[in-house]
Chains A and B, each alone.
Chain A
Amino acid sequence: MDKFTTLTGIAAPMPLVNIDTDMIIPKQFLKTIKRSGLGKNLFDEMRYNADGSEIESFVLNQPAYRDAQILVAGDNFGCGSSREHAPWALLDFGIRCVISTSFADIFFNNCFKNGILPIVLPQDAVDVLMGDARKGANARMTVDLEVQTVTSSDGQSFGFEVDAFRKHCLLNGLDDIGLTLEKAAAIDAFESSAAQARPWV
């Protein structure tokens, strides 16, 4: 997993609420057995016509936002399925950070496993950043994970919360499995006491 420390980039506005995982990456792209290559199908049905041509009005098709690395989105982003293909598609497109008032639980988790930082901010802060994102490519936002701030292109800064452990993993690009395997003795101990207490499991 790539580290996440600071990011300065173009932010694309997606004010729609309840953007679900079927919108982020429709099911026909879940048939892959790889993690990479999904970026071209990110938001597929919003982004392309049935004949494969681009829908001009869609935000990521507009010249200003083609290189967006941040999304500012409406409430409850990422609701729906557990498909990790959603963060894989975002990452493959180049998105490293999503800002919203709220995220669906599984999607939120999945982001951290892939070096994407989901940031929860109150509505008024999201409104300001949404306005900033609408300015297009000249408005670059900066996200600093170490000090936990998002700064708009005109210098307005908003602090955000992030779990200490998740922050540590993102800052250092740590692999969860490796960390957990260091606790193998604790897992062994749990297993043997559970085998006594609940032998039917």
Chain B
Amino acid sequence: MSPKTLYDKIWDAHVVDTQDDGTCLLYIDRHLVHEVTSPQAFEGLRMTGRKVRAPEKTIAVPDHNVPTTLDREKGIENEESRIQVEALDKNARDFGINYYPVSDIRQGIVHIVGPEQGWTLPGMTVVCGDSHTATHGAFGALAHGIGTSEVEHVLATQTLIQKKSKNMKVEITGKLRPGVTAKDITLSVIGATGTAGGTGYVIEYCGEAIRDLSMEGRMTVCNMAIEGGARAGLIAPDEKTFEYVKGRPHAPKGAQWEAALTWWKTLKTDEGAHFDKVVTLKGEDIAPVVTWGTSPEDVLPITGAVPSPEDFKGGKVEAAARSIEYMGLTPGQKLTDIKIDTVFIGSCTNGRIEDLRAAAEILKGKKIAAGIRAMVVPGSGLVRAQAEEEGLAQIFIDAGFEWRLAGCSMCLAMNPDQLSPGERCAATSNRNFEGRQGRGGRTHLMSPAMAAAAAVTGHLTDVRDFMLTHA
């Protein structure tokens, strides 16, 4: 048998049917659902009298629209948001799918809840009407976002019509330097390949620096595979993965666990398997980075300066000029001179316990700069509870952060957590698009530690210098 990649193996294990032109019907093991991209799909089922084929493999949680303020049991003020969440409540009930309502402590961002509850397991196919489904690839699961028509298709058939993508390997060799995190890896990869560099591919991340990451860090890396244009990101499961999964509510137990483990251990790319594209970065070369523009590829080491449009070629010249103007920056300006108004720590990229620990480590015994608005939004109710238990919540509160309830919050600002026009935010989320965090809002993406350091100084800050001067 010819050697296979990890992607090939998972793919082959899920093909239900293949047509002459290579179009396949792929079986879906887990279908995650949230309130924004599902109402039209459930409506479609009702109109055609169809049922959810595998409700036990379907998991729903409201996250995008939910308020994250402490008084949220009062309900959702915005009528449209409320209707959307209520529609999910009803759809979950009517179709009998697994559900974590707003009132449940397990509620949170869908991509944090899935792994936390053990729904996401190695070797699975996982889809969700959400592009950051790539997150689950950290477990060696083939996971990607789908549109609402496809959500309806999966609900009705538990399959997806797919053509296989090409294989791409992203290898991060060696060790990371102090102050450099999973977020810096994933942003640096996008900086190197561009936001379309992964289009048509499924990426497998590998190499020592990836293996050294915790599961949380691996989720951060895979989360942003989509920002590089890839359909999905994958990391081969290993002992860390099994350790993380073991004992989770929906993970296999007893004899099933042993059987699963036997299969999971085969889930790695064979020696000599073919990759259509290979990108290699040296771990030592990766610096803490921030974005300066309005595309995740607009990324630079924090020691850099705002570029000028002439530094680019083709259509990117106009795009860069537009970005710089939108962001209110001047070419040549040092990145560390950029003053911020707001700090947002959270999202499915960096809303897990390890992210909160990293930010709290920087904030311990310190205060945020005068005039800064800062908030931490844990990725799930359970992350929040754990952070409270570990004393992290108190560190945030003492530093002057707002300590919120779980949800997507200011990552995309569908709830009241929004930037006003011109407001500048250091954010741990994944998209710096125009208007993403609120109309006219300006987003700089970075790691939780970098965002925490910026909160203290009031401007973009090199966390390495910060650690030296604030030790």
Interface residues of chain A, those whose CB is within 8 Å of chain B, are 15-18, 20, 22-23, 26-28, 30-35, 45, 50, 74-76, 79-84, 87, 102-106, 109-110, 113-114, 163-165, 176-177, 180-181, 183-184, 186-187, 190-191, 194, 197-201
Choose the segment among B388-396, B432-440, B450-458 that binds chain A (4+ C-beta atoms closer than 8 Å). B432-440
With both chains docked as a complex, state the minimum distance between the C-beta of B299 and any C-beta of chain A, in angstroms. 14
Identity of the chain B residue whose Cβ is nearest the Cβ of A167 in the assembled complex:
B21
Decide if B150 touches A80 in the complex (CB within 8 Å): no
- The 8 Å CB contact of B27, one of A20, A34, A104, A190, is A190
The A/B interface has a contact count, at CB < 8 Å, of 192
Query: Looking at the complex, which one of A33, A184, A198 makes contact with B84 (CB distance below 8 Å)?
Result: A33
Give the Cβ gap from A186 to chain B, nearest Cβ, in Å. Answer: 5
**Nearest chain B residue, comparing its CB with the CB of A166:** B23
Are B27's CB and A27's CB within 8 A?
Answer: no
CA distance A81 to B439 in the complex (A): 17
Residue contact A102 to B196, C-beta cutoff 8 Å? yes
- Cα A179 to Cα B253 in complex, Å, equals 37
B231 contacts across to A, CB distance below 8 A: 105
Q: In the docked arrangement, what's the CA distance between A45 and B421, Å?
A: 12
In Å, the complex CA distance between A197 and B319 comes to: 50
Q: In this assembly, does B369 line the interface, its C-beta being within 8 Å of a C-beta of chain A?
A: no
Chain A residues contacting B196 (CB-CB under 8 Å) are 18, 75-76, 79, 102, 104
Q: What mask results when residues 34 to 64 of chain B are scored 1 for a CB within 8 Å of chain A, else 0?
A: 0011011001100010100100010000001
B-to-A contact residues, CB < 8 Å:
13, 16-17, 19-21, 23, 25, 27, 29, 36-37, 39-40, 43-44, 48, 50, 53, 57, 64-65, 78, 80-81, 83-84, 87, 121, 123-124, 129-131, 133, 144-150, 152-153, 156-159, 161, 163, 165, 195-196, 199-200, 226, 229-231, 252, 256-257, 259-260, 263, 295, 297, 314-316, 318-319, 322, 412-414, 421, 431, 433-436, 439-440
A50 and B43 alpha carbons, distance in the complex (Å): 33
User: Are the CB atoms of B149 and A31 closer together than 8 Å?
Assistant: no
- A50 x B322 contact (CB < 8 A): no
Bound CA–CA A57/B256 (angstroms)? 63
Assuming the A-B contacts A80-B431, A113-B150, are A199 and B256 also in contact, with contact meaning beta carbons closer than 8 angstroms in the complex? yes
B16, B145, B157: the one within 8 Å of A181 (CB): B157
Q: B158–A187 contact, CB under 8 A?
A: yes
Which residue of chain B has its CB nearest to the CB of A111? B147
Please indicate the chain A residues that have their CB under 8 angstroms from the CB of B21 in the complex: 163-165
The answer to whether A106 and B145 have CB atoms under 8 Å apart is: yes
Q: Is the CB of B414 within 8 A of A17?
A: no
Closest to B131 in A: A82
CB atoms of B23 and A84 under 8 A apart: no
Q: A169 CB to closest chain B CB, in angstroms?
A: 9
A32-B149 contact in complex given A45-B439, A104-B199, A163-B163, C-beta closer than 8 Å: no
B153 touches A199 (CB 8 A): no
A110-B148, A114-B149 given; name 13 further pairs at CB < 8 Å.
A23-B433, A30-B64, A31-B65, A31-B80, A45-B435, A81-B145, A84-B147, A104-B229, A106-B146, A109-B147, A110-B149, A176-B153, A187-B25
Q: Output the nearest chain A residue to B83 by Cβ-Cβ distance.
A: A33
* Contact with B434, one of A22, A74, A109, A186 (Cβ below 8 angstroms): A22
Distance in Å: Cβ of A193 to nearest Cβ of chain B: 10
A18 CA / B315 CA spacing, docked (Å): 9
Q: Closest 10 interchain pairs by CB?
A: A200-B252, A31-B80, A113-B149, A17-B315, A33-B39, A110-B147, A82-B145, A84-B147, A84-B148, A76-B196
Distance in Å from the Cβ of A48 to the closest Cβ of chain B? 10
Residues of A within 8 A of B129 (CB): 82, 84
Shortest Cβ gap from A192 to chain B (Å): 12
Q: Which residues of A contact B150 (CB under 8 A)?
A: 109-110, 113
Known contacts A31-B65, A76-B195, A198-B260; A176 and B43 CB within 8 A of each other: no
Chain B residue nearest to A23 (CB atoms) is B434
Partner of A201, one of B29, B84, B314: B29
Contact A187 B27, CB 8 Å, known A15-B315, A17-B315, A76-B196: yes
**Interchain CB contact (< 8 A) of B36 among A30, A181, A197, A199:** A30
Closest to A31 in B: B80
Task: Name the residue of chain B whose CB is nearest to the CB of A123.
Answer: B314
How far apart are the CA atoms of A45 and B326 in the complex, in Å? 12
A86 CB, nearest partner CB in chain B, Å: 9
Residues of A within 8 A of B13 (CB): 197-198
Question: With A17-B316, A76-B196, A186-B16 in contact, do A113 and B25 touch (Cβ < 8 Å)?
Answer: no
Question: Could you show 26 A-B contacts with beta carbons less than 8 Å apart?
Answer: A15-B318, A16-B318, A16-B322, A18-B295, A20-B433, A22-B433, A22-B434, A27-B436, A30-B37, A79-B195, A82-B129, A82-B131, A84-B40, A104-B229, A106-B131, A106-B146, A110-B147, A113-B150, A177-B44, A177-B50, A180-B157, A191-B158, A194-B27, A200-B252, A200-B260, A201-B57
Assembly CA distance A81 to B13 (angstroms): 28
Instruction: Let me know if B433 and A80 touch, CB within 8 A.
Output: yes
